[in-house]
């Protein structure tokens, strides 16, 4: 059976870990680090995860190793479910005939790795909900290997294709910290006394520490099952008197005239108004919603490595020998190959061993992950690496080394003792920081040809070692390793039928001159015309700039895609840098830290991180927040040298001690709880942040938003102990005001407006344009509440997930179209709008046509989508019963509830699309990844739209040529989604 490993990633800014895929005829397997950017790297290489259900994680359970796991599992669960449903549909249709096919096997996913893997998944219960995709985890601890009766070390795992030996290594234990142990014991007592909601897993009498951990493991496993293989449904409603309803929950009543279920809108339990004597319908809460806490844990020290080997392959069938023995070709050959004996023409029995050669031994590799020097000695002393039974057939050792380890004498000595195997090194000391996302790099090179002031070649370095990056800074401590080769992206290792290293599969470096030559001359001419137009309109552009507060504010669009990362767009993140005040990050999707490292040089990035003041997370869909932990960790390292604070933040002393912490994370309570829970797995800097829950503005109230420290210092804390005073906003946040409102997208989704202090009279930026006000939509339908809190915004950053022609999709998935986003900008009287969060790999560039709505008009009468606008924060907000931002009627069976009737899906027309801008002073920018633009220069960007449109159509044609699709006049693919077997795929179920 053919089998080969291929290196998907080596350590770079985009791909901080080393990932390999083992490809076989029947199944594929993922080994190595599952860091942020892994899924995107796999997409970039053209590999597909459809044959993968087993993931083997190396190293420790830290975000740098597992940060890409969550997004990858969600994507794979969705695609596996879609394939299964399609297969089942075909099976049901086929089963009505005479011949029945084989019923499809329900998909499942298996994760293998270090301790705390299940705990990590459990922390994600507030934003993961899947049905019908069981996920099983196996955690390996530093224990002696199991042996057979013959004394051989048994594999930790095997299937019909491979055998795997897991090597969990823990360094020598450090001196126990009595204070930490005491605190952990107190947490366990609190959990078992008050927080454990699993009736089947209560503490029973006197329980040993080992039994307690086993019970805690069962709790985590049960929770993960609820997250991925739930039987709960939204349309299961329970009838009860309103006085017995436990809040918060959504309530419904049945209309006596129509018998339809409608939302209940009367007085609520716990309110000031008397309750009516009515019976209401409520949902049974999703079981994960009542899990308020996880069993206590601590960071696990184990780092996992693997030895992987194929099973022995049967020998070759000797045709000449069979014929010489009188075996007739045909079915007899097949029987012998299958291991059955046959008779020849003479009646002689011919056994398989007479015509089949000896078995070929299995071949494999060792994947050895060494985070730091303290793990090295323990690893090389492992019995498995000394065992001839295990190491037979192991042809290569692939070393995943932490910084500073390459060339260490102990490592070199061990490698010399294994001269019979090929050693391959992957580390920041040996692998340059090359561009790993070729497609977006090539796109940015072309964008730089069009507009060099806004787009620059992503930062990389093909030669310097060790890498000059956040991880690899510093000189090499040891001499380079001898008798080893350096891992490269695309390098392959053929295991069967015979071992070999394939270097012709290595991915070539991005060739900048060649990419530039491929750019159409017409695009270059249009870009030249744009620059000439800017020069001609210099006076008007400067006049508009005078209307803008703090025009030197820089906007960097780090991720402009939606749902999941693609080759051309990463997921949501926008950085706003306000000179003299600080830096503000609006959403922080997976691998935002990688995007930052491509936009900024290492020295500039350090300055960006040191001055990072606020991270705003709009909602808990994975594409908006899975990069938060790594950004905080990088900030923690740069700002505080990774030294934790000795005491938690305190609101009463915040005005004088904010610098001890310095970074505020503002979001929904669920996001802050996730950060708190994850901090028990890894010290990523949680002790140094200021976690602030924001309460949205309520309709008819003039109190505005309130910021509270979450969790509160204690249950009995007074309001002054956890509520941030407005007079402290500027000192703590750098803001004069912050307002948020609920928006229609998912449970807890919010939009925000941040107002910055006006420049002082002594400032060089002293102008009469008013304060800088930045409004950010997150994901949402157009919202009047957002338009109100964002009135007079200087800058609006608004999602434009769908083109206007896809308004039905926007309604169904609770997103906005381009025109709807611009309409909100006009209602705000915003000076500048940046459009982002595009659903397609390339967003069509609209032709913008400015119309003056009139100074006396309060309502824009004919704005597309006005009839669908959400008026107040209370409308169209998902059921809080779920307490999970991933639950929707689409994925949880909400058929019993009313749904909006969507307009028909229009056909694409091959005409130029004109979008009206109903505000004469509002300027619009369409964002791409890596765009850096000064606020005062946004008016220039519209000049480049014709060149961008031509570039995107040209790139679509080039991509289609590779994929065999056709392109229409709008630069749209006409062949539909490329599905399995040439069939059209069903739409993704991601709710992001």
What ranges do the domains of the chain cover? 3-94+103-171+301-310+360-502, 237-283, 319-354, 524-760+767-851+913-964
Give residue-wise pLDDT tens across range 949-965: 999 887 665 555 554 44
Residue 670, CB half-sphere, CA atoms under 13 Å: how many?
27
CATH architecture of 524-760+767-851+913-964: 4-Layer Sandwich (3.60)
CA dihedral 75, 79, 84, 86 (to 10 degrees): 150
Mean pLDDT of the chain: 87
Q: Which residue has the tokens 């504010």?
A: 553
**Buried b or exposed e, range 54-63, using 16+ CB within 10 angstroms:** bbbbbbbbbb
Residue 650, CB half-sphere, CA atoms under 13 Å: how many?
8
Q: What is the rounded CA–CA span in Å between residue 633 and residue 638?
A: 9
- Neighbour tally for 866: CB within 10 Å: 16
Is the pLDDT at 76 greater than 50, yes or no? yes
Predicted confidence band at 612 (pLDDT cuts at 50, 70, 90)?
A: very high
Q: What is the pLDDT of residue 760?
A: 72
Contact call for residues 450 and 516 (beta carbons, < 8 A): no
Q: What is the pLDDT of residue 970?
A: 33
Return the percentage of the chain with pLDDT > 90, whole number.
69
Do strands 157-158 and 914-917 pair parallel, antiparallel, or not at all (unpaired)? unpaired
What is the pTM assigned to this prediction?
0.91
Q: What is the rounded CA–CA span in Å between residue 908 and residue 744?
A: 27
Reduce the secondary structure of 3-66 to three states and give it as a string. Answer: EEEEEEECCCCCCCCCEEEEEECCCEEEEECCCCCHHHHHHHHCCCCCCEEEEEECECCCHHHH
Q: What is the rounded CA–CA span in Å between residue 769 and residue 936?
A: 12
Q: What is the pLDDT of residue 968?
A: 36
Mean pLDDT of 48-52: 89
Contact call for residues 384 and 145 (beta carbons, < 8 A): yes
Give residue-wise pLDDT tens across range 898-915: 434 444 444 444 455 678
Q: What is the pLDDT of residue 901?
A: 41
Q: What is the pLDDT of residue 874?
A: 43
Q: What is the pLDDT of residue 466?
A: 93
Burial class (CB in 10 A: 0-12, 13-18, 19+), 294: buried
Q: What is the pLDDT of residue 870?
A: 60
Residue of 205, 226, 228 lying closest to 215 (CA atoms): 205
Give residue-wise pLDDT tens across range 794-816: 999 999 999 898 899 999 999 99
Q: What is the pLDDT of residue 99?
A: 62
Is the pLDDT at 384 greater than 70, yes or no? yes
Q: Which residue has the tokens 């039905």?
A: 808
More confident residue, 136 or 895: 136
Token pair belonging to 158: 């095997």
Q: What is the pLDDT of residue 981?
A: 36
Token pair belonging to 503: 């270097």
Predicted confidence band at 883 (pLDDT cuts at 50, 70, 90)?
A: low
Phi and psi, residue 175, nearest 5°: -60, 130
Q: Which residue has the tokens 């969790």?
A: 711
Q: For 147, which DSSP code?
A: B
Give residue-wise pLDDT tens across range 621-662: 999 999 999 999 999 999 999 999 999 999 988 878 888 999
Predicted confidence band at 897 (pLDDT cuts at 50, 70, 90)?
A: very low
More confident residue, 589 or 271: 589
Q: For 354, which DSSP code?
A: G
Q: What is the rounded CA–CA span in Å between residue 322 and residue 768?
A: 96
3-state secondary structure of 797: strand
Phi and psi, residue 640, nearest 5°: -125, 10
Is the pLDDT at 227 greater than 50, yes or no? yes
Give all strands (DSSP E) within 454-511, no chain letters. Answer: 484-486, 492-496, 500-502
Among the ranges given (408-422, 429-443, 892-906), the one the predictor scored with the smallest mean pLDDT: 892-906
User: Among positive and negative, which fits the CA dihedral 443, 447, 448, 453?
Assistant: negative
Mean pLDDT of 87-94: 86
Token pair belonging to 825: 């900008």
Token pair belonging to 60: 């420790």
Q: What is the rounded CA–CA span in Å between residue 869 and residue 741?
A: 14
Contact call for residues 836 and 557 (beta carbons, < 8 A): yes
Q: What is the pLDDT of residue 980?
A: 34
Q: What is the rounded CA–CA span in Å between residue 989 and residue 563?
A: 10
Token pair belonging to 895: 């058929």
In terms of phi and psi (left: phi > 0; alpha: psi -120 to 50; beta: otherwise), the region of 689 is beta
Beta bridge partners of 928: none
Which CATH number is associated with domain 3-94+103-171+301-310+360-502? 3.60.15.10
- The answer to whether 3-94+103-171+301-310+360-502 and 524-760+767-851+913-964 have equal CATH topology is yes
Phi and psi, residue 799, nearest 5°: -70, 145
Give residue-wise pLDDT tens across range 332-376: 999 998 889 999 989 999 999 998 888 888 999 999 999 999 999
Reduce the secondary structure of 96-126 to three states and give it as a string. Answer: CCCCCCCCCCCCCEEEEECCCHHHHHHHCCC
Q: Of the segments 133-142, 175-184, 644-653, which one has the largest average pLDDT value?
A: 133-142
**Gap between the terminal Cα atoms of the chain:** 40
Predicted confidence band at 184 (pLDDT cuts at 50, 70, 90)?
A: very high
Q: Which residue has the tokens 């991880």?
A: 471
């Amino acid at each position: 059976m053919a089998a080969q490993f291929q290196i998907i990633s080596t350590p770079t800014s985009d791909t901080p870990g080393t990932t390999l895929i083992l490809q076989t005829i029947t199944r594929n397997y993922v080994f190595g680090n599952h860091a942020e950017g892994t899924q995107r790297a796999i997409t970039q290489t053209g590999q597909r995860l459809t044959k993968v259900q087993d993931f083997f994680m190396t190293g420790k359970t830290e975000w740098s190793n597992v940060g890409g796991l969550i997004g990858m599992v969600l994507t794979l669960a969705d695609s596996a479910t879609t394939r299964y449903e399609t297969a089942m549909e075909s099976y049901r249709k086929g089963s009505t005939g005479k011949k029945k096919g084989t019923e499809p096997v329900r998909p499942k996913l298996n994760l293998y790795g270090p301790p705390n893997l299940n705990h990590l998944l459990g922390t994600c219960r507030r934003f993961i909900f899947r049905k019908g995709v069981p996920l099983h985890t196996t955690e390996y601890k530093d224990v002696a290997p199991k042996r057979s009766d013959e004394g051989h070390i048994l594999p930790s795992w095997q299937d019909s294709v491979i055998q795997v030996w897991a090597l969990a290594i823990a360094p020598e234990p450090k001196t126990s910290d009595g204070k930490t142990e005491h605190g952990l014991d107190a947490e366990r007592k609190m959990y078992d006394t008050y927080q454990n909601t699993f009736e089947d897993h209560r503490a029973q009498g006197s329980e040993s520490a080992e039994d307690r951990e086993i019970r805690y493991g069962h709790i985590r496993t049960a929770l993960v099952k609820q997250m991925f293989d739930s039987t709960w449904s939204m349309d299961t409603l329970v009838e009860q008197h309103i006085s017995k309803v436990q809040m918060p929950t959504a309530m419904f009543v049945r209309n006596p005239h129509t018998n339809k279920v409608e939302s209940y809108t009367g007085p609520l339990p716990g309110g000031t108004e008397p309750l009516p004597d009515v019976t209401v319908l409520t949902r049974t809460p999703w079981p994960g919603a009542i899990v308020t806490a996880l069993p206590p844990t601590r960071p696990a020290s184990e780092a996992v490595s693997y030895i992987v080997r194929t099973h022995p392959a049967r020998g070759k069938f000797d045709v000449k020998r069979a014929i010489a023995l009188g075996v007739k070709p045909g079915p007899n050959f097949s029987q012998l190959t299958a291991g059955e004996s046959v008779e020849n023409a003479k009646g002689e029995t011919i056994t398989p061993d007479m015509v089949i050669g000896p078995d070929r031994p299995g071949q494999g590799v060792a994947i050895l992950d060494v985070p730091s020097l303290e793990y090295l000695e323990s690893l090389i002393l492992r019995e498995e690496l000394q065992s001839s039974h295990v190491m037979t057939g192991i042809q290569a050792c692939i070393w995943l080394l932490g910084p500073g380890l390459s060339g260490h004498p102990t490592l070199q000595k061990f490698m010399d003792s294994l001269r019979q195997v090929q050693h391959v090194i992957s580390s920041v000391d040996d692998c340059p920081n090359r561009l790993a996302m070729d497609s977006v790099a090539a796109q940015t090179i072309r964008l730089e040809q069009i507009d060099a002031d806004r787009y620059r070649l992503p930062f990389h370095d093909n030669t310097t070692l060790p890498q000059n990056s956040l991880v690899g800074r510093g000189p090499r401590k040891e001499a380079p390793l001898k008798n080893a080769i350096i891992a490269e992206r695309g390098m392959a290792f053929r295991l069967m039928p015979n071992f070999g290293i394939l270097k012709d599969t290595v991915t070539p470096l991005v060739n900048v001159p060649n990419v530039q030559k491929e750019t159409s001359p017409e695009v270059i001419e249009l870009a030249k015309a744009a620059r000439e137009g800017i020069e001609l309109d210099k006076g008007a552009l400067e006049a508009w700039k005078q209307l803008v507060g703090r025009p030197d504010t820089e906007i960097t669009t780090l991720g402009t895609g939606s749902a999941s990362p693609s080759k051309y767009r990463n997921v949501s993140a926008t950085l706003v840098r306000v000179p003299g005040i600080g830096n503000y990050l609006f959403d922080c999707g997976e691998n935002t830290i990688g995007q930052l490292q491509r936009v900024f040089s290492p020295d500039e990035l350090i300055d960006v991180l040191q001055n990072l003041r606020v991270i705003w997370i709009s909602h808990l869909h994975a594409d908006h927040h899975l990069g938060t932990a790594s950004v905080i960790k990088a900030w923690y390292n740069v700002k505080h040298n990774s030294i934790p604070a000795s005491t938690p933040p305190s609101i009463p002393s915040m005005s004088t001690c904010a610098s001890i912490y310095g970074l505020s994370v503002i979001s929904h309570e669920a996001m802050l709880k996730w950060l708190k829970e994850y901090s028990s797995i890894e010290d990523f800097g949680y002790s140094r942040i200021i976690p602030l829950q924001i309460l949205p503005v309520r309709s008819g109230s003039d109190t505005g938003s309130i910021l509270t420290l979450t969790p509160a210092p204690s249950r009995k804390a007074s309001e002054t102990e956890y509520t941030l005073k407005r007079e402290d906003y500027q000192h703590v946040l750098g803001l004069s005001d912050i307002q948020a409102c609920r928006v229609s997208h998912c449970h807890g989704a919010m939009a925000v407006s941040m107002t910055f202090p006006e420049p002082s009279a002594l400032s060089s930026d002293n102008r009469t344009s008013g304060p800088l006000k930045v409004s950010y939509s997150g994901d949402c339908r157009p919202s009047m509440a957002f338009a109100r809190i964002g009135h007079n915004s200087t800058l609006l950053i608004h999602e434009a997930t769908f083109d206007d022609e896809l308004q039905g999709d926007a309604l169904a998935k609770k997103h906005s179209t381009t025109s709807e986003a611009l309409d909100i900008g006009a209602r705000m009287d915003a000076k500048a709008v940046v459009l982002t969060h595009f659903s397609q790999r390339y967003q069509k560039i609209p032709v913008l046509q400015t119309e003056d709505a009139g100074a006396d008009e309060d309502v824009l009468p004919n704005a597309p989508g006005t009839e669908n606008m959400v008026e107040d924060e209370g409308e169209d907000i998902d059921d809080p019963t779920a307490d999970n931002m991933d639950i929707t009627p689409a994925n949880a069976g909400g058929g019993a509830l009313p749904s909006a009737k969507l307009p028909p899906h229009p056909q694409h027309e091959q005409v130029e699309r004109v979008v009206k801008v109903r505000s004469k002073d509002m300027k619009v920018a369409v964002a791409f990844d890596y765009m850096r633009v000064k606020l005062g220069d946004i008016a220039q960007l519209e000049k480049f739209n014709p060149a961008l449109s031509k570039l995107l159509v040209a790139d679509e044609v080039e991509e289609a040529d590779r994929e065999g699709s056709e392109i229409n006049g709008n630069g749209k693919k006409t062949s539909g989604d490329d599905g399995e077997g040439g069939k059209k795929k069903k739409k993704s179920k991601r709710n992001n």
